[in-house]
Amino acid sequence: MKNCFRNASEAFILFLFLLRAYPASAVEYAVPNSGSPYVSFAELKNDQILHVPTGIRVTMEQMMETIATARVIYIGETHDNLESHRIQLEIIRHLQGKGKIAVGMEMFRRSAQQDLDSWGSLSEAQFKKLFHKNWGMGYRLYQPIFEFLKEKHIPLLGLKSNKETEELLRQGDGIGSASLPDMDEGDLYHRMSAMSVFGAHQDIDSSRPYRMLVLWEEAMAQTVAEFLKNPDYKDWKLVVLTGGYHIQYGFGIPKRAYRRVPHPYITVLPTTAEIPDELKDREMNVKEVSIPLYAADFAWKLPYKILPPNRIKLGVGLEELEQGARVRSVTENSSAAKAGIKKNDVFLMVDGQEVIDVDDMVGFLQTKSWGDTIVIKLRRDGSEMSIEAVLQKPEDEK
């Protein structure tokens, strides 16, 4: 074959151009197995922990020895998976026994910090209101973590952006504003990964949700950086609890925090290779892309477990309010219908217990049995009243 290059450097320059001509998502550039080069996550057994860069399976104790070298430990989650929260608590327990730690959570906004600083003196009802205001439903998923943090007096930090900042971004008024954190939208792989989610929904303008995603992650990273620069926390570690997407591949919160304050950190990614058939409807529609990065430092294989189904039902559809729960719908011939509960009634108390949100009502009902009578204090058309309801099993369940 005739050599058409005058010298090796000319050939190398052309080689570089050819490399750049390849799409960034080309398989040749990807780490196999969605970011795990040696072992596919699907090969792991439940509760096995994988050190992703080496493909070596490790024990909890061995992982914790590595984690001990980090200032920040990011632990991802699938929000509704009880197993994710179980291992988050396991790691927190272990770290708390070794030294001083604080915990930052995506579930609270930065604006909640004043309340979080005094949360040890808040009643459970007050704290649940704070959680509901910042995150919405799901308090029961995190309750064991909250109880441990409160018992051990572990500081809790709100990570997520404030509503006002998000509204500035939505309106376009915040572009370049001092109200926004420093925002980096230039990470090619982060954008590719995000568009694999947003791009699966062709009816939306993907640029807007992408900017909001960046804002969320930059705000959380800013909180991490402020912790690292705070002399009061000089000898402390920070555990960050957030959705797995925000830490996977490292280009979300970890990279953005490191950009602000270089520091040693570790990412732990709970992973579920198989979703039970009855939970298939919770799977996200995501287009596959190839990312040339490790998925995490450690992957922890877990089953997918959610809160048990509601055994006792009143027969209403509820929606969240700032306080209480409004009736959206009443099922025909249900206990609620027979008791005279109507659409737009607002539940305030049940058997003397305050109804802060839908979770409260659902959780309370699960402590009851069919045939029990409950007393609901509600507001209807501006007036308060109490209604007795007998919990009767639906005809189709008898």
Res. 29 pLDDT band, cuts 50 70 90: low
Per-residue confidence (pLDDT) for residue 175, from 0 to 100: 55
Poorest-pLDDT segment among 35-39, 102-106, 215-219: 35-39
Per-residue confidence (pLDDT) for residue 5, from 0 to 100: 46
171 vs 43, more confident: 43
- Helices then strands, counting H and E runs in the chain, come out as 13, 14
Alpha helices for the chain (secondary structure H):
8-21, 32-35, 60-67, 82-96, 113-117, 124-134, 139-151, 163-171, 188-198, 207-229, 253-260, 335-339, 358-365
Res. 55 pLDDT band, cuts 50 70 90: very high
Whether the domain at 27-301 and the domain at 316-392 fall into the same CATH topology: no
Question: Do residues 243 and 159 touch, judged by C-beta distance below 8 A?
Answer: no
pLDDT one-digit tens code per residue, 168-205: 888 875 555 667 899 999 999 999 999 887 764 454 55
- Tokens encoding 176: 């370049």
* CATH classification for the domain delimited by 316-392, as one of 2.30.42.10, 3.20.20.70, 3.30.70.260, 1.10.3720.10: 2.30.42.10
Domain 27-301 is found in CATH 3.30.1380.20 = no
pLDDT one-digit tens code per residue, 228-260: 999 999 999 999 999 999 999 999 999 999 999
Residue 316's H or E segment, with its range, is: strand 316-320
Q: Which of 320, 328, 285 is nearest to 138 (CA)?
A: 320
Q: Give the mean pLDDT of 110-136.
A: 91
List the chain domain ranges.
Answer: 27-301, 316-392
Read off the pTM: 0.83
